[in-house]
Structure 1
Amino acid sequence: HKTARHVPGLGRGLCTDLRRRGACKKETSQAGLAGKVIESVEPLIGGELKDDPELGQFSSLQKCQSAVCVPLRSEGGVYGVLLFASPESDAYTTEFMEALAIYCDQAVIALQNAEQYQGLYQEKESFIAREEQARQKLVYDLRRGPLQTMKTIATRLGRARAMLSRDPKRGMEELARLEVLTRRTVRGLRALLFGLQPITLGSEGLKAALERYVQPMEGQKPFIHLDITEPGERLSSKVSGVVFSIIEEAIANAREHAEANNIFVQVGLRDDLLVAQIQDDGKGFYTYAERFSGESMDGLGLSTIESWAKSINGKVAINSTVGQGTTVILTVPLQG
Structure 2
Amino acid sequence: MSPVTLEQSELATLSQLLAAGGYHDVPGLLRSSLERLVTLWPAQAGALLYIAPDGAAVRLENGLLSAEANTLIDQARSGFVRRDESGEPTIGSYSLENGLSLIELPLQSASQGVGLLHLVVAEGGTEKTAPTIRLDEEMLLLLVRAIGGEADKMVRVQYVEAELRELRTLLEAGQSLVGNLDLPSLLNEIRQRAADTLAAEHCVIYLLDRERNELVVELPSQGRTSRVPTDRGIAGWVVTHGLAQIVNAVEQDPRWPESVLDANLRIISLVIVPIRARERLIGVVQVMNRRDGRGFDERDVMLLALLAAQAGVAIENARRYRLLQYERDLLLTQEEHVRNAIARDLHDGPTQRLTAVKMNIEFIKKLLVAMPERVPAELNTLEDLVSRTITDLRTFLFEQRPLGLETQGLLPTLQQYVERWHDPTGQAIRLRLEAPASIPRLAPDVEATTFVIIQEAVNNARKHAQTPEIIIYMYVEEGFLITSVRDRGKGFDMNKVEASYTDRGSLGMLSMRERARMMNAELRIRSELGAGTIVELRIPLA
List aligned pairs for 1:147-158, cutoff 5 A. Answer: 147-158=351-362
Question: What are the superposed Cα offsets for residues 169-205 of structure 1, whole Å, 9 maximum, x if unpaired?
Answer: 32111111111111222333345446x456xxxxxxx
User: Which structure shows the higher helix fraction?
Assistant: 1
Please state how far the C-alpha of 1:36 moved relative to its aligned partner. Answer: 4.4
Which residue pairs with 1:299 in the alignment? none
Q: Is residue 271 of structure 2 the alignment partner of residue 68 of structure 1?
A: yes
Give the Cα–Cα distance (whole angstroms) in 2 for the partners of residues 102 and 246 of structure 1. Answer: 58
**1:13 CA drift (Å):** 5.5
Residue 200 of structure 2 is matched in structure 1 by: 4
Cα-Cα RMSD: 4.4
Partner of 2:376: 172
Q: Which residue of 2 aligns with 1:245?
A: 417
Indicate which of 303, 306, 310 corresponds to 1:102.
Answer: 306
| Structure 2: segments with no counterpart, 5+ residues | 1-195, 217-226, 422-433, 440-468, 474-482, 487-535, 537-542
What is aligned with 1:86? 289
Q: Tell me the amino acid that sits aligned with residue 144 of structure 1.
A: D
Select the structure with the greater relative contact order (CA < 8 A; seq sep ≥ 6).
1
Question: 1:158 deviation in Å?
Answer: 3.5
Q: Decide whether the 8 Å contact of 2:274 with 2:308 is kept in 1.
A: yes
Listed as ranges, the matches of 1:15-34 within 5 Å are 16=214, 24=231, 33-34=234-235
1:66/1:85 contact within 8 Å kept: yes
Question: TM-score, with normalisation over the residues of structure 1?
Answer: 0.53
* CA distance in 2: counterparts of 1:274 and 1:120, whole angstroms: 39
Q: What amino acid does structure 2 have at the position aligned with 1:86?
A: N
Cα distance in 1 for partners of 2:375, 2:294 equals 104
Pair 197,67 (structure 1): closer, same or farther in 2 beyond 3 Å: same
The C-alpha deviation readout for 1:97-147, integer Å capped at 9, x for no partner, is: 212211111111111111112222222222222221121122123223321
> Kindly tell me: are residues 97 and 313 of structure 1, through their superposed partners in 2, closer, same or farther at Cα, counting changes over 3 Å?
closer
Say which SS state the counterpart of residue 281 (structure 2) adopts. Answer: strand
Deviation at 1:77, TM superposition (A): 3.7
Alignment of 1:1-336 (within 5 A): 4-12=200-208, 16=214, 24=231, 33-58=234-259, 60=262, 63-75=266-278, 77-86=280-289, 89-161=293-365, 163-164=367-368, 167-193=371-397, 196-197=399-400, 214=406, 224=407, 226=408, 228=409, 242-243=414-415, 245=417, 273-275=436-438
Q: Assess, with a 3 A threshold, how the Cα gap between structure 1 residues 210 and 84 changes in structure 2: closer, same or farther.
A: farther
Q: Which amino acid aligns with 1:52?
A: D
| Structure 1 position 6, deviation (Å) | 1.4
Partner of 1:295: none
User: Aligned partners of 1:333, 1:45: CA distance in 2, in Å?
Assistant: 53
SS of the counterpart of 2:275? strand
Q: What secondary structure is seen at the aligned counterpart in 2 of 1:53?
A: coil
**1:334 CA displacement:** 11
SS in 2 for 1:273: coil
* Cα pair 1:12 1:80 within 8 Å, conserved: yes
Deviates more, 1:54-63 or 1:142-151: 54-63
In 1: Cα distance, 2:392 partner to 2:332 partner: 26
Residues 1:40 and 1:117: Cα distance change in structure 2 (over 3 Å): same
Separation (CA, whole Å) in 2 of partners of 1:17 and 1:313 = 42
Q: Could you say what secondary structure the match of 1:12 adopts?
A: strand
Q: 1:70 deviation in Å? A: 1.1
Q: Could you say if the C-alpha distance between residues 70 and 193 of structure 1 is closer, same or farther in structure 2, counting changes exceeding 3 Å?
A: same
Tell which structure's C-alpha radius of gyration is larger.
2
1:273 partner letter: P
In 1, Cα distance between equivalents of 2:205 and 2:394 = 58
8 A contact 1:49–1:63 mirrored in 2: no
State the TM-score, normalized to the length of structure 2: 0.35
CA distance in 1, matches of 2:247, 2:277: 23
Percent identity (aligned): 23
1:17-70 superposed Cα distances (whole Å, 9 cap, x missing partner): 69x978827xxxxxx643443244232322111233334244648733321111
Q: CA deviation digits over 1:283-317, x for unaligned, max 9?
A: xxxxxxxxxxxxxxxxxxxxxxxxxxx98599xxx
Greater CA deviation, 41-50 or 164-173? 164-173
Give distance in 1, aligned partners of 2:326 and 2:420: 30
Which amino acid is 2:201 matched to? R
Q: State the number of aligned residues.
A: 226
The letter for the 2-side match of 1:37 is V
